Amino acid sequence: MKILMVCLGNICRSPLAEGIMKQKIIENGLAWKVDSAGTGSWHVGNLPDSRSIDVAYKNGIDITNQRARKFVKEDLEQFDLIFAMDSSNYSNIVNMASHSSQKEKVHLIMNMTEPQRNITVPDPYWDDDGFDQVFEMLSRACDGIIQHYS
Ligand code: 4NP
């Protein structure tokens, strides 16, 4: 299974989703691969936001090996599952799909724990207090992904 986590900047939410998912994959003895990307290109090549690095570290996860990259059309072919953090990421990704088989790979990540509610992972970039909540939401969503697909 190859999983891609996608947000807007690839510096706050999706790097956390990647780090959390990788830790749970190890804990569950799975052979899945995980990467992350952003639909925007402002932060390409950058480390995750220091507040994401801090909340991950506080929870025993090191995400400082990650560097931001932009989501590309080929990702729809390369990955089996693509998880968007919010509806804007979701539309941007689906609009780049060339087949229905590619669109079917794309899901709102919170639907993995709270199906069909279309809950959004809030963008914490402008909100210093949002990172703990984002971590907790993504941890639940990643548990849901493992339950659903393993
Ligand atoms: P992310 O957060 O999508 O969770 O990485 C953002 C990071 C940067 C910006 C927006 C959202 N930005 O506008 O630069």
Q: Give residue 127's pLDDT.
A: 86
**Index of the ligand 1 atom closest to the CA of residue 68:** 5
Terminus-to-terminus CA distance in the chain, angstroms?
9
**Index of the ligand 1 atom closest to the CA of residue 11:** 5
Q: Give residue 105's pLDDT.
A: 98
DSSP string, 19-85: HHHHHHHHHTT---EEEEEESS-TTTTPPPPHHHHHHHHHTT---TT----B--TTHHHH-SEEEES
Ligand 1 pocket, Cβ-based, cut-off 6 angstroms: 7-13, 38, 42, 123, 125
Amino acid at 130: G
Q: What are 49's two structure tokens?
A: 């936001």
Q: Tell me the per-residue pLDDT of 26-59, one tens digit each, with 9 for 90 and over.
A: 999 999 999 999 999 999 999 999 999 999 999 9
- Confidence grade of residue 140 (pLDDT, cut at 50, 70, 90): very high
Q: Tell me the per-residue pLDDT of 64-106, one tens digit each, with 9 for 90 and over.
A: 999 999 999 999 999 999 999 999 999 999 999 999 999 999 9
Active site residue 13: yes
Give the helix/strand (H/E) hosting 106: strand 106-108
Q: Give residue 129's pLDDT.
A: 87
Amino acid at 55: V
Instruction: Pick the range with the lowest mean pLDDT from 16-20, 67-71, 103-107, 124-128.
Output: 124-128
